[in-house]
Amino acid sequence: MADPVTSRSFCFPQGRSPKRILVIATRRIGDVLLVTPLLRSLRLAWPESTIDVLVFKNTGAILQGNGDVTDLIEVEERPDFDQNIALLRRIYRRYELAVSTLAGDRPNIYAFLASKKRVSLIAEQDRNRFLKRRLNHGWSLLDDVNTHTVEQNLALARIMGVEQVREVVPPSIDMPIERLETVLGFNPRKNAFVVIHPYPKWPYKQWTLQGWRALIDWLVERGLNIVLTGGPAEEEREFCRDLAVGRERRVFDLSASLSFSEITHVVSLSSAFVGPDTSVTHLAAATGVPVVALYGPSNPVKWGPWPKGFDRDSSPYRMYNATPQRVGNVCLIQGVNLPEKCVPCREEGCDRHRLSRSRCLDGLEVSVVIEEVERSLNESGERAVK
């Protein structure tokens, strides 16, 4: 029988704020980005506090330029003995409050070592849940299906009596127009362009190469430039190169060339963004530009891009919708619902592993994507520069 208790509150005395706070967000890049509403809430509630964030190495770049963060502490995903000792020396009892955005054992151990006062998410099915309830002064039950990750993280603010600010804060950097022109290969203020991030980390989230090619050709015919973004992995770079071949006058391949903060700046000047379920799509949604997101197995209720300005304590999206879901600046297109009615299956592809394909995305028709991209461009009032 499920435990009816879903949270326990913990509040600092009225008028008093914790001097030093550690927020633990040791997950993937996109997860770290979706912690930023919690960071913004804590910063506005306690403007004088030091707020450090513990992240895995190479994920902290998504917080570049974030004024809500005092310092980043990086740890290896699988630290050895010496690395654990170094982390222990850095965090042991140095904080007045530790906030874990994860329900796992290791984040809770980090919180226990860092502070005498702790708040955490707790998984209902966790065999150690009763111990974690005793170790944490405040906690909220993890809902991994029906609660959006932004709202799940903000539940920690709520149980601390902190007003929730539903704003995903993308990384930021100042880029002079001359630098932008050099990077892009054209003047972004004179030539309208669309940013496409075609390649997610895992194949089960991928749309087809043929689909991306057809979309790009349609955008080029419309008179738009295309900027391709991507990471440094060779297969990702090859995918972007294949999309640019024969289209070099209009398609600019910047894969592995931009930091997250630079991507944010470029996206903010674009007419629209198109991408799959990936951290860059979440980043793009936070800029406020029109975003068309292609989702297959992923649960949009939990992981859909948070629209800029969306301020409700519920997910922006339904689990499945036969037609694209439009909320604010985001249009979320789900893959073809197969005869088994499996979209979203919330699994890692049809073969249930990260390297498998997803038939729902493989069958997503180009015409559906083009129609929604065109609608997004038209509704935003953007026009191609011929």
Q: How far is Cα 22 from Cα 245, in angstroms, rounded to an integer?
A: 47
Tens digit of each residue's pLDDT, the chain (386 residues): 345 578 999 988 777 899 999 999 999 999 999 999 999 999 999 999 999 999 999 999 999 999 999 999 999 999 999 999 999 999 999 999 999 999 999 999 999 999 999 999 999 989 999 999 999 999 999 999 999 999 999 999 999 999 999 999 999 988 888 888 888 989 888 899 999 999 999 999 999 999 999 999 999 999 999 999 999 999 999 999 999 999 889 999 999 999 999 999 999 999 999 999 999 999 999 999 999 999 999 999 999 999 999 999 999 999 999 999 999 999 999 999 988 889 999 999 999 998 999 999 999 999 999 999 999 999 876 544 33
For tokens 């955005």, the residue is 101
Quickly list DSSP for 13-77.
Answer: PTT---SEEEEE--S-HHHHHTTHHHHHHHHHH-TTSEEEEEEETTTGGGGTT-TT-SEEEEE-S
Residue 3, pLDDT score: 53
Q: How far is Cα 84 from Cα 94, in angstroms, rounded to an integer?
A: 16
DSSP 8-state assignment for residue 345: -
- Residue 24 · residue 110 · CB < 8 Å: yes
- Residue 39 · residue 23 · CB < 8 Å: yes
Alpha-carbon radius of gyration of the chain: 21
Domains annotated for the chain, with CATH where assigned, are 7-159 (3.40.50.2000), 177-379 (3.40.50.2000)
- Residue 290 · residue 376 · CB < 8 Å: yes
Residue 350 tokens read as 């049809």
Residue 154 phi/psi, 5-degree rounding, is -70, -15
Name the CA dihedral angle for 293, 361, 304, 279, rounded to a multiple of 10 degrees.
-70
